[in-house]
Amino acid sequence: MQIFGKKVTFPFLKTRLGILMTVALSLVFMASVGLDQASKRHAHATLMGWENPDDIQMYRSKTVPIVSFGSIPEDPETPGFFLRLNFQYQRNTGAAFSMFSDWDDSIRVPFFYGVTVLAVCFIFYYLKTLPLNFHLTRFGLIMILSGAMGNFIDRVLLGYVIDFVDVDWVLYTWHHDFAVFNVADIAINIGIIAFLLESLLPKKPLMVSDIESSPQAQSAS
Report which of 17, 33, 16, 208 is spatially closest to residue 120, judged by C-alpha positions. Answer: 33
| 43, 162 Cβ separation under 8 angstroms | yes
Give domain status of residue 75, yes or no: no
Residue 32: its H or E element: helix 16-47
Give domain status of residue 180, yes or no: yes
pLDDT classification of 216: cutoffs 50, 70, 90: low
Which residues have a catalytic role annotated? Answer: 163, 185
Q: What is the pLDDT of residue 91?
A: 93
Give domain status of residue 50, yes or no: yes
Give domain status of residue 62, yes or no: no
Give domain status of residue 32, yes or no: yes
| 99, 111 Cβ separation under 8 angstroms | no
Give domain status of residue 39, yes or no: yes
Give the pLDDT confidence of 71-84 residue by residue, as tens digits.
Answer: 888 787 888 889 99
DSSP per residue, 61-87: E-EEEEEEEE---SSTTS-EEEEEEEE
Residue 96: its H or E element: none
Q: Which residues contact 172 (CB under 8 A, 6 or more apart)?
A: 79, 80, 81
Instruction: Kindly report the pTM of this predicted structure.
Output: 0.82
Give domain status of residue 80, yes or no: no
Give the pLDDT confidence of 132-174 residue by residue, as tens digits.
Answer: 788 899 999 999 999 999 999 999 999 899 999 999 988 887 8
Give domain status of residue 197, yes or no: yes
Give me the sign of the Cα torsion angle 132, 134, 137, 138. Answer: positive
More confident residue, 220 or 99: 99
State which residues form the domain around 38.
Answer: 2-55+86-168+176-220
Number of domains in the chain: 1
Share of the chain above pLDDT 70, in %: 82
Share of the chain above pLDDT 90, in %: 44
